[in-house]
A = this chain, B = another copy of it.
Amino acid sequence: MNAIVRWTGAVCVAALLAALPATMPAGAETALPLPGRQEVARPENAVANFLLNNGMEVVVIPDRRAPIVTHMVWYKVGSADEPPGKSGIAHFFEHLMFKGTTNHPAGEFGRRVSEIGGSENAFTTDDYTAYFQTVPPDALGTMMAYEADRMRNLVLTDAVIGPERDVILEERRLRVENSPDALLAEEVAATVYQNHPYRIPVIGWMQEIEQLNRTDATAFYDRYYAPNNAVLVVAGDVDAAEVRKLAEATYGKIARGPDLPPRIRPQEPEQNTDRTVTMRDPRVTVPSFSKSWLAPSYRSAEPGEAEALDLLSEILGGGIRSRIYQALIVKQGIASSAGAYYSGGRLDETVFGVYGSPRDVGSLDAVEHAVDAEVARIVADGVTPDELEAAKNRYLRSMIFASDNQSRMANLYGSTLAVGGTVKDVQEWPQRIRAVTPDEVRRVAVKYLSGTRSVTAYLLPAQAAAN
């Protein structure tokens, strides 16, 4: 939800990827048989996972279906790690990584990627910042050399930083200030979270971006951009020994950075109120609502709870077979869209949400009540074993389809490891989903979706002057 993606390559392979960290759990499809592949069980195709001497973690995911390789570096730093008053520095820094280094002028890396027909991209979320390229396998060493170079050798002068700050301010104007949805989403996050830095937008608050400077950028770079705070993920037609050799020759030459303390951010207090956040804007034509509850993430949950929340969101509003879709769109015909979501991939306490929009202007109230009724019904009566089994099958099947995409596989490993998870977490995830019981689904519904601590957002057309 908060992912900011920066398009730099010609081919937007990352469109799908970008949405993943927020909408999918720390997933696991590579443990499933890949469609069209026969060699799943062979050891040379197992995922490899090792550390370089300087502390950089490496994951290699063999995938020999096509002569292509995905090369990603994930830094364990996102907007939720920013110092107070410096919001936007993580995303700002992502932009600066495309500037010149002491060895290569700005733009050279990107031109090389284009020349060989590859694509590159980068994105920043609350929890991590990632850079990646998709290229033919023989270019892997070159990618590593460039990526390792910019890990430590960026030239951070005022002449570089000033103009890029203007670019980011313009990006914020276009993508946030000009969008009622985006403005509302920011204030909802700032209301849902009373203490945790997830309340702060990834792109940063306008007045703080304006003040970001070379000192901030240099401090951020020196603290977080180091091999022992990064995860290298390589997926494709390569083998682990070869990747290790290339990684040692490039990333392996970089000195360890500072030992960082555990990523312990300010946590939420107990909440005791229901809140609403209402935005009226003349650009809104169809009204909509959403309701958010705090819920644990895969990283912060009690065992099994995040899996149960994922299945709850699937059953409640995950697609056309879901209860909300069937009730509001198919049977009652009152909504143009409605559903549920759970952003389990975050490091800290996350959000479970429902939303809806009426078919006809003016019936938003009916849509909200119908969605509330579906939530209340699942809290009161739980789910049936058949319904849960069907949801597991749909859910795991969508993961299997997702796994037929090298970048998505790489992304799942990277996003899991970047928040402190392991390769094992990724691989065992399907079994954990399978093990969820109807009772566990009901229990998380009762625990997280009842009570009085929700935040309901309304996006409404502008009103006549008076209240």
Contacts and interface: CB of A to CB of B under 8 A. Distances in A.
A275 B272 contact: no
Interface stretch (A21-29, A53-61, A183-191): A183-191
A208 interface: yes
B273 A372 contact: no
A85 interface: yes
Contacts of A183: 272-273
A187 B270 CA distance: 10
Q: In the complex this chain forms, how many copies of it are found?
A: 2
Contacts of A280: 452
Contacts of A271: 187
Contacts of A272: 183-184, 187, 279
A35 interface: no
Which size bracket describes the interface of A in this complex?
35 or more
A184 B275 CA distance: 11
B191 A275 contact: yes
Interface in A423-444: none
A274 to B, nearest CB: 5
A362 interface: no
A54 to B, nearest CB: 29
A285 interface: no
A194 B183 CA distance: 13
A176 to B, nearest CB: 10
Interface stretch (A145-153, A237-245, A259-267, A332-340): A259-267
Interface string A169-207: 000000000000001101100110011010110000111
A163 interface: no
A205 B200 contact: no
A38 interface: no
A278 interface: yes
A113 B194 CA distance: 41
A266 B267 CA distance: 18
Top 3 closest pairs, chain A to chain B, by CB? A190-B194, A85-B266, A205-B269
Interface of A: 84-85, 87, 183-184, 186-187, 190-191, 194-195, 197, 199-200, 205-208, 264-267, 269-280, 372, 376, 452, 467
28 contacts: A84-B265, A85-B264, A85-B266, A87-B195, A87-B266, A184-B273, A186-B269, A187-B271, A187-B272, A187-B273, A190-B194, A190-B195, A191-B191, A191-B275, A205-B269, A206-B270, A207-B269, A208-B267, A272-B279, A273-B277, A273-B278, A275-B275, A275-B276, A275-B278, A276-B276, A278-B452, A279-B452, A372-B467
